[in-house]
């Protein structure tokens, strides 16, 4: 019983690491963020494009894109809660923040376009996501 409690406590400690990190850890966090955003954006693009090809149930596209929007939101919140420990890390933060915000707002636009059945906007937004995607692909390799 006691062992179980200790295990749970240890797990909590491990997962709720405090906001202050080393430069290496911060770089790893940024790479992680970029990878996660990569997944999210690619998923949303696939769903939107398949939908435009008439291969999707509308409710599925809606759910997938809305989930992507929410996931992007929470990724953004997570990285913003971390304090960059030095100037170099701060530069990294700026590098990732720009595509993050761009992607987040594009995903919101995409969700609205899907709900409104606005095919033109849906196509344009899905294509526009390529730009932040490229930034994320590059940043994923940051931790080496």
Contacting residues toward other proteins, per CB under 8 A: 7, 10-11, 14-15, 32, 35-36, 38-39, 42-43, 46-47, 50, 54-60, 62-64, 67, 71
Residue length, the chain?
A: 144
Shortest Cβ distance from residue 64 to other proteins (Å)? Answer: 4
Shortest Cβ distance from residue 98 to other proteins (Å)? Answer: 21
CB of 119 closer than 8 Å to CB of 52: yes
Specify which residues 22 forms β-bridges with.
none
Shortest Cβ distance from residue 99 to other proteins (Å)? Answer: 16
Q: Which is nearer to other proteins, 36 or 113 (CB)?
A: 36
Rounded distance between C-alpha atoms, residue 117 and residue 110, angstroms: 10
CB atoms under 10 Å from CB of 49, counted, come to: 16
């Amino acid at each position: 019983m006691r062992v179980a409690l200790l295990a749970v406590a240890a797990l909590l400690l491990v997962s709720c690491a405090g906001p202050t990190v080393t430069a290496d850890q911060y770089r790893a966090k940024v790479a992680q963020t970029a990878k996660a955003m990569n997944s999210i954006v690619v998923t949303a693009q696939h769903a939107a494009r398949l939908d435009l090809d008439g291969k999707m149930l509308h409710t599925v596209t809606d759910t997938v894109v809305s989930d992507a929007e929410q996931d992007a939101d929470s990724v953004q919140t997570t990285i913003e809660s971390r304090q960059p420990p030095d100037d170099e890390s701060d530069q990294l933060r700026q590098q990732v923040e720009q595509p993050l915000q761009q992607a987040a707002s594009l995903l919101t636009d995409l969700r609205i376009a899907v709900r409104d059945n606005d095919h033109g906007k849906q196509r344009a937004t899905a294509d526009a996501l390529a730009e932040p995607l490229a930034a994320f692909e590059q940043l994923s390799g940051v931790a080496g």
